[in-house]
Protein backbone atom coordinates (compact mmCIF):
# COMPACT_ATOMS: atom_id res chain seq x y z
CA UNK A 1 0.00 0.00 0.00
CA UNK A 2 2.96 2.33 0.61
CA UNK A 3 3.83 2.42 -3.11
CA UNK A 4 0.21 3.19 -4.00
CA UNK A 5 0.08 5.91 -1.33
CA UNK A 6 3.17 7.59 -2.76
CA UNK A 7 1.83 7.41 -6.31
CA UNK A 8 -1.57 8.69 -5.11
CA UNK A 9 0.11 11.70 -3.47
CA UNK A 10 2.19 12.48 -6.54
CA UNK A 11 -0.71 12.15 -8.99
CA UNK A 12 -3.05 14.14 -6.73
CA UNK A 13 -0.63 17.03 -6.46
CA UNK A 14 -0.04 17.02 -10.23
CA UNK A 15 -3.81 17.45 -10.62
CA UNK A 16 -3.87 20.43 -8.25
CA UNK A 17 -4.65 18.88 -4.87
CA UNK A 18 -2.93 20.43 -1.85
CA UNK A 19 -1.93 19.05 1.53
CA UNK A 20 0.05 15.98 2.46
CA UNK A 21 -0.52 12.44 3.59
CA UNK A 22 -3.50 10.49 2.34
CA UNK A 23 -6.07 13.33 2.58
CA UNK A 24 -5.74 16.12 0.01
CA UNK A 25 -8.02 18.85 -1.31
CA UNK A 26 -8.62 21.43 -4.01
CA UNK A 27 -10.27 24.71 -3.07
CA UNK A 28 -12.71 26.07 -5.62
CA UNK A 29 -14.72 29.28 -5.47
CA UNK A 30 -17.79 27.74 -3.84
CA UNK A 31 -16.60 24.40 -2.48
CA UNK A 32 -13.70 22.21 -1.39
CA UNK A 33 -13.08 18.86 -3.09
CA UNK A 34 -11.32 16.43 -0.77
CA UNK A 35 -9.90 13.00 -1.64
CA UNK A 36 -8.59 10.37 0.71
CA UNK A 37 -6.84 7.08 0.03
CA UNK A 38 -8.05 4.40 2.45
CA UNK A 39 -6.64 0.89 2.78
CA UNK A 40 -9.23 -1.85 2.68
CA UNK A 41 -9.63 -3.88 5.85
CA UNK A 42 -10.12 -6.92 3.59
CA UNK A 43 -6.80 -7.60 1.92
CA UNK A 44 -4.55 -5.40 -0.19
CA UNK A 45 -7.27 -3.29 -1.82
CA UNK A 46 -7.95 0.39 -1.31
CA UNK A 47 -10.69 2.96 -1.68
CA UNK A 48 -10.63 6.51 -2.94
CA UNK A 49 -13.00 8.42 -0.69
CA UNK A 50 -14.25 11.77 -1.94
CA UNK A 51 -16.01 14.65 -0.20
CA UNK A 52 -17.55 17.93 -1.24
CA UNK A 53 -17.71 20.72 1.33
CA UNK A 54 -19.84 23.73 0.42
CA UNK A 55 -18.39 27.03 1.60
CA UNK A 56 -21.83 28.62 1.98
CA UNK A 57 -22.72 25.94 4.55
CA UNK A 58 -19.64 26.76 6.65
CA UNK A 59 -19.17 29.68 8.97
CA UNK A 60 -16.21 31.93 8.17
CA UNK A 61 -14.11 30.62 11.09
CA UNK A 62 -14.49 27.02 9.90
CA UNK A 63 -13.51 27.90 6.33
CA UNK A 64 -10.43 29.81 7.45
CA UNK A 65 -9.38 27.20 10.01
CA UNK A 66 -9.97 24.35 7.60
CA UNK A 67 -7.84 25.63 4.76
CA UNK A 68 -5.12 26.97 7.07
CA UNK A 69 -4.91 23.71 8.99
CA UNK A 70 -4.86 21.62 5.84
CA UNK A 71 -2.17 23.71 4.18
CA UNK A 72 0.13 24.14 7.14
CA UNK A 73 -0.44 21.09 9.33
CA UNK A 74 -1.51 18.56 6.71
CA UNK A 75 -4.78 17.80 8.48
CA UNK A 76 -8.30 18.06 7.17
CA UNK A 77 -10.76 19.59 9.61
CA UNK A 78 -13.45 20.60 7.15
CA UNK A 79 -16.79 18.84 7.56
CA UNK A 80 -18.02 17.06 4.46
CA UNK A 81 -21.49 17.69 3.07
CA UNK A 82 -21.39 15.00 0.35
CA UNK A 83 -19.41 11.77 0.75
CA UNK A 84 -18.86 9.17 -1.94
CA UNK A 85 -16.29 6.84 -3.42
CA UNK A 86 -14.52 7.51 -6.71
CA UNK A 87 -15.93 4.37 -8.32
CA UNK A 88 -19.50 5.52 -7.59
CA UNK A 89 -19.58 8.54 -9.88
CA UNK A 90 -21.66 8.06 -13.04
CA UNK A 91 -19.52 6.64 -15.86
CA UNK A 92 -16.59 6.05 -13.49
CA UNK A 93 -13.58 4.72 -15.40
CA UNK A 94 -12.88 2.09 -12.73
CA UNK A 95 -14.82 -0.18 -10.39
CA UNK A 96 -13.89 -1.22 -6.88
CA UNK A 97 -12.88 -4.59 -8.33
CA UNK A 98 -10.39 -2.77 -10.60
CA UNK A 99 -8.92 -0.96 -7.59
CA UNK A 100 -8.64 -4.26 -5.69
CA UNK A 101 -6.74 -5.86 -8.59
CA UNK A 102 -4.53 -2.80 -8.92
CA UNK A 103 -3.35 -3.18 -5.32
CA UNK A 104 -1.40 -6.31 -6.23
CA UNK A 105 -0.05 -4.83 -9.46
CA UNK A 106 3.67 -4.20 -9.45
CA UNK A 107 3.87 -1.83 -12.43
CA UNK A 108 3.96 1.71 -11.07
CA UNK A 109 3.02 3.19 -14.47
CA UNK A 110 -0.19 1.15 -14.55
CA UNK A 111 -1.01 2.23 -10.99
CA UNK A 112 -0.27 5.87 -11.86
CA UNK A 113 -2.46 5.78 -14.98
CA UNK A 114 -5.37 4.23 -13.10
CA UNK A 115 -5.20 6.69 -10.21
CA UNK A 116 -4.82 9.63 -12.57
CA UNK A 117 -7.87 8.62 -14.65
CA UNK A 118 -9.93 8.00 -11.52
CA UNK A 119 -9.02 11.38 -9.98
CA UNK A 120 -9.52 13.22 -13.28
CA UNK A 121 -12.99 11.67 -13.50
CA UNK A 122 -13.77 12.83 -9.94
CA UNK A 123 -12.60 16.38 -10.73
CA UNK A 124 -14.60 16.45 -13.97
CA UNK A 125 -17.74 15.08 -12.28
CA UNK A 126 -17.61 17.60 -9.44
CA UNK A 127 -16.91 20.50 -11.83
CA UNK A 128 -20.04 19.62 -13.78
CA UNK A 129 -22.28 18.53 -10.90
CA UNK A 130 -21.15 20.23 -7.68
CA UNK A 131 -24.27 22.40 -7.46
CA UNK A 132 -26.29 21.32 -4.43
CA UNK A 133 -29.54 20.84 -6.35
CA UNK A 134 -27.78 18.78 -9.03
CA UNK A 135 -26.20 16.52 -6.42
CA UNK A 136 -29.60 15.96 -4.78
CA UNK A 137 -31.25 15.19 -8.15
CA UNK A 138 -28.57 12.65 -9.06
CA UNK A 139 -28.96 10.96 -5.67
CA UNK A 140 -32.79 10.94 -5.88
CA UNK A 141 -32.62 9.45 -9.39
CA UNK A 142 -30.40 6.63 -8.04
CA UNK A 143 -27.65 7.69 -10.44
CA UNK A 144 -25.19 8.73 -7.77
CA UNK A 145 -24.89 6.71 -4.55
CA UNK A 146 -23.61 9.24 -2.05
CA UNK A 147 -24.13 10.19 1.57
CA UNK A 148 -25.59 13.68 1.52
CA UNK A 149 -26.19 15.81 4.60
CA UNK A 150 -29.72 17.19 5.02
CA UNK A 151 -28.41 20.77 4.78
CA UNK A 152 -27.42 20.14 1.16
- Collapsing DSSP to helix, strand or coil, 149 comes out as coil
- Domain boundaries along the sequence of the chain: 2-148
> Please, what is the angle between helix 96-103 and helix 108-129, to 10°?
150
- pTM for the complete prediction? 0.88
Phi/psi zone of residue 35: left (φ > 0), alpha (ψ -120 to 50 degrees), beta?
beta
Q: What is the pLDDT of residues 50-77, one digit of tens each?
A: 999 999 988 766 555 555 554 455 555 6
d(CA 39, CA 16): 23
Q: What's the chain's average pLDDT? A: 86
Amino acid sequence: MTAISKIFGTVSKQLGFKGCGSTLFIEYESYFLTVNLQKSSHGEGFYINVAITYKQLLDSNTTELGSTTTYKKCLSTLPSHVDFRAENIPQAPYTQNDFDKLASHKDSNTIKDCLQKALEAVIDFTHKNHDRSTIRKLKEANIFPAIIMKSV
